[in-house]
Amino acid sequence: MHTVVVGTSGVTASDVLAVARGGARIELSAEAVAALAAAREIVDALAAKPDPVYGVSTGFGALATRHISQELRAQLQRNIVRSHAAGMGPRVEREVVRALMFLRLKTVCSGHTGVRPEVAQTMADVLNAGITPVVHEYGSLGCSGDLAPLSHCALALMGEGDAEGPDGVVRPAGELLAEHGIQPVELREKEGLALLNGTDGMLGMLVMALADLDTLYKSADVTAALSLEALLGTDKVLAPELHAIRPHPGQGASAANMLAVLAGSGLTGHHQDDAPRVQDAYSVRCAPQVAGAGRDTLAHARLVAERELASAVDNPVVLPDGRVESNGNFHGAPVAYVLDFLAIAAADLGSIAERRTDRLLDKNRSHGLPPFLADDAGVDSGLMIAQYTQAALVSEMKRLAVPASADSIPSSAMQEDHVSMGWSAARKLRTAVDNLTRIIAIELYAATRAVELREGLTPAPATRAVIEAVRAAGVQGPGPDRFLAPDLAAADAFVRGGDLVAAVEKVTGPLQ
In sequence order, what DSSP letters do the residues of 262-302 get, joined into one string? Answer: HTT-SSTT-TTSSS--SS--HHHHTHHHHHHHHHHHHHHHH
Q: What pLDDT does residue 274 have?
A: 65
Q: What confidence tier does 61 reach under pLDDT thresholds 50, 70, 90?
A: low
Catalytic residue among 54, 138, 282, 388: 54
Quick: pLDDT tens for 68-127.
787 788 888 899 999 999 999 999 999 999 999 999 999 999 999 999 999 999 999 999
Distance of CA 478 to the CA centre of its chain: 35
Average pLDDT over residues 132-153: 93
pLDDT of residue 62: 62
Pinpoint the alpha helices (H) of 158-195.
173-179, 191-194
Residue 133, H or E segment: strand 132-133
Of 300, 338, 304, whose CA–CA distance to 420 is shortest? Answer: 338
How confident is the model over 151-202, as pLDDT tens digits?
999 999 999 999 999 999 999 999 999 999 999 999 999 899 899 988 999 9
Asked, as a colleague might, if the bond just before 403 is cis with ω within 30 of 0, I would say no
Bridge-based pairing state of the strands 25-28 and 136-138: unpaired
Rg of the chain in Å (alpha carbons): 26
Exposed, middle or buried: residue 1 (CB in 10 Å: 0-12, 13-18, 19+)? Answer: exposed
pLDDT at 46: 84
Question: In what helix (H) or strand (E) does residue 80 lie, and over which residues does it extend?
Answer: helix 73-84
| pLDDT value of position 272 | 64
Q: What is the mean pLDDT of the chain?
A: 94
The pLDDT tens digits of the residues spanning 210-260 come to 999 999 999 999 999 999 999 999 999 999 999 999 999 999 999 999 999
pLDDT tier for residue 348 given thresholds of 50, 70 and 90: very high
Mean pLDDT of 407-431: 90
Q: How much is the average pLDDT of 438-464?
A: 97
What is the spatial distance between Cα 52 and Cα 475, in angstroms, rounded to a whole number?
66
Residue 217 annotated in active site: no
pLDDT bin (cut points 50, 70, 90) of residue 47 is: confident
pLDDT at res. 276? 65
